[in-house]
Each structure stands twice: as C-alpha cells, then as structure tokens.
Amino acid sequence: MSLTQKLGKRGRFAKISILVNEHDAGKRLDMVVASCISDCSRSLSASLIRNGKILVHGALKKPGYHVRKGDEICGLIPSPEPVLFEPEPVEIDIIYEDEHVIVINKQPGLVVHPAPGHYRGTLVNGLLYHCPGLKEIGGKIRHGIVHRLDKNTSGALVVAKTEVAHNNLALQFKSRKIKKRYLAIVHGKIEPDSGTISLPIGRHPIDRKKMSTISRKTRSAETSWKVMERFCKATLLEINLKTGRTHQIRVHCSAINHPVLGDSVYCSRKILKNIKAPRQMLHAWQLVFSHPVTKISMSFEAPVPQDMEKLIKALRLLQQPEVVNAKSEF
C-alpha cells in the first residue's frame, strides 16, 4: 500500500487515517480511499465523501478533489456486517477425499466463495454441509479454500480439511509447487504449436471488475500454451500457469487476440455472436500437488464437462481438425 492507514473500530464504523505520499499525489480523493480501504468501492467512498464522513485536513472536499502530498484523509467508514455462511446440501462432485484434503470437480456456474449477491448455494455452503469441521479451517472467512476458480470455469479444485493441511497447501501455492493444467477453447486458429505469454496483469484502469495488461500497478504473469486441436474458427489449447493472477488465462488470451470462447467479459460481442458457447470455455483439467501430511505427490484429472465436449464435437463437424498432440483425446 502506498499510503499509511490506521484503522480503529468505533461502534458500527471504522475510523480511518491516510497520509498521502508523493506516489499518490494528484489522484482523485474517492479513488485513493477506495484503493486503500478493503471492501470499500469507489461509489461507496464517493458517497461517504459527499456526506462529510471523510474529510481532508478536517475540511469537506468533493470526490473528484485531487489529493496532494501530505494531505491527511480522516473519517469513518461503515464496518462490514458479519455474514454467517450456512451449510446447504449443494451438489458436489468429489474426485478424492481423506481426513486432510478433498478434491472437487467444480461444475460450471457454481460460485466458490460467498460474496455480495452470492451468499447461498456456493461451494463453501456445500462443503460446510459435507464437512462441518471446515468452519474453523483457514479462518472463518475461507473455510479451507486455498485457491479458487471463476464461477463459469469448471474443473479440479483442492480444499483443506485441517489447519495443518491448509497452511501446507497455501505454502505450496505461494512457492508455485502446485501444478495446474487447463483446457481452453479460444477464438481463431493459432498457428504456432506452442508459446508463452509474459504480460503483467493488474486491475483495469477504468473497470474495477476487470483485470488488464495495461494497468498502472501490475504484477508479473506468465502463461504457457500448447495447441491440442485446430478448428476452422477456434483452437483447443492446453494451458499451464507459472503464476496465478486473477483472470490470468482469460486476460492473456484476450491480449493476444485469441479470447476464450464464451467469455462475456474479455471476448467481443461479435465473437460471442458468431460462435455460441454456453459459458467461458475454460476447464481446470489437471491438478498436481504434494499431500500436505504424507508428502506423496498426487495427481488428479477432472473429466471435460458435457458443455465443452459438445462444443468440441460441433467444431469438429465444421472442419476436420489438425490433431497436433496424439494425447489430446479425452
């Protein structure tokens, strides 16, 4: 964080104090507040500023005020309301389970973790029903979740069932020892048989819900891909991630003008209209990690979901594909 921040609870509000440094001088006040305070959107920060809840040197300012070095931003923001995640009999496709971990084949359309607008019917709700002990694993918010898949991405996902397993798996992810291989159907015919995309990724400069390779604040990201089949209007790729940034595969594929088919966020309307896909055609195919307790290497494969198989068959009918890798049969 480029600004210093002090938080102290005061009833239903949290007291904030932010000191603007040289790096953030010139930015809009509402943007500074939103970027520094967790769970505070730009619209919320603007509303608080307009209502006099957030001041600069004790004076009322507009949300568009450009802060200066040395400005002291003080005020009150609402404390987040506690959310109770209730167990629910959500259908879960279990690939593997023991007393330490559970490996899930997440179906498309299933939200992994409860969030605004999705507090019920999530994978966490289902896991709490299936494994009641998860309530205290990894903190009361994560419930054993050590990595996520987007709502419309399917495939293999590992969940910790104990605190020891959670800490070990989190360390494996942080040190990049866990291997993840994806399948993606992307727009257009990619001519090279393989390649690597090395483009940094950060929050989109305008749309905060999107990620981008042209953000001011980025983190390094690397995606390797290999062609499995080519079609007349699309290509089936096997994708390996060296890093694990938010929306990494979707952003990188879009950046090289081969967006994931069905991706309503990073794929153009024209492409979405020309090739119908029920959702973004991205599947977490294989997952390899060391068991957090036995240390034995474990490898899991999530079967290709029906909607993806159906689209592959439809693309094959349009044109006999060139099979690049003999192991590409599922």
pLDDT more than 90, % of the chain? 52
**Residue 61 and residue 106 in one domain:** no
Q: Is the pLDDT of residue 41 over 80?
A: no
Q: Of 76, 22, 18, 17, whose CA–CA distance to 45 is shortest?
A: 76
pLDDT digits (tens, 9 = 90+) for 188-220: 999 899 999 999 999 887 776 789 998 878 899
Can you read off the two tokens belonging to residue 14?
């949290």
Residues in the chain: 330
**Residue 214 and residue 279 in one domain:** yes
**How many domains is the chain partitioned into structurally?**
3
d(CA 129, CA 135): 10
**Residue 103 and residue 215 in one domain:** no
The distance of Cα 140 from the centroid of its chain, to the nearest Å, equals 20
In a domain, 8, yes or no: yes
**Residue 13 and residue 148 in one domain:** no
**Residue 205 and residue 280 in one domain:** yes
* Confidence tier at 137 by pLDDT (50, 70, 90): low
In a domain, 14, yes or no: yes
**Residue 72 and residue 110 in one domain:** no
**Residue 269 and residue 224 in one domain:** yes
- 3-class secondary-structure state, position 57: coil
pTM: 0.72
**Residue 135 and residue 245 in one domain:** no
pLDDT digits (tens, 9 = 90+) for 279-309: 999 999 999 999 999 999 999 999 999 999 9
- The CB density around residue 91, as the number of other CB atoms within 10 Å, is 7
In a domain, 84, yes or no: no
Provide the residue range defining the domain that includes 248: 179-284+313-328
Domain ends where: 46, 78, 110? 78
In a domain, 240, yes or no: yes
d(CA 6, CA 11): 16
pLDDT digits (tens, 9 = 90+) for 56-107: 999 999 999 999 999 999 988 776 555 567 888 999 999 999 999 999 999 9
Inter-helix orientation angle 42-50/29-36, to 10°: 120
The active-site residue, picked from 24, 30, 71, 150, is 150
**Residue 196 and residue 319 in one domain:** yes
* Confidence tier at 324 by pLDDT (50, 70, 90): low
- Residue 98's identity, in one-letter code, is D
Q: Is 193 a catalytic residue?
A: no
Helix (H) / strand (E) element for 300: namely: strand 297-301
pLDDT digits (tens, 9 = 90+) for 139-193: 555 567 888 899 999 999 999 998 899 999 999 998 889 999 999 999 999 989 9
CATH at residue 168: 3.30.2350.10
**Residue 131 and residue 215 in one domain:** no
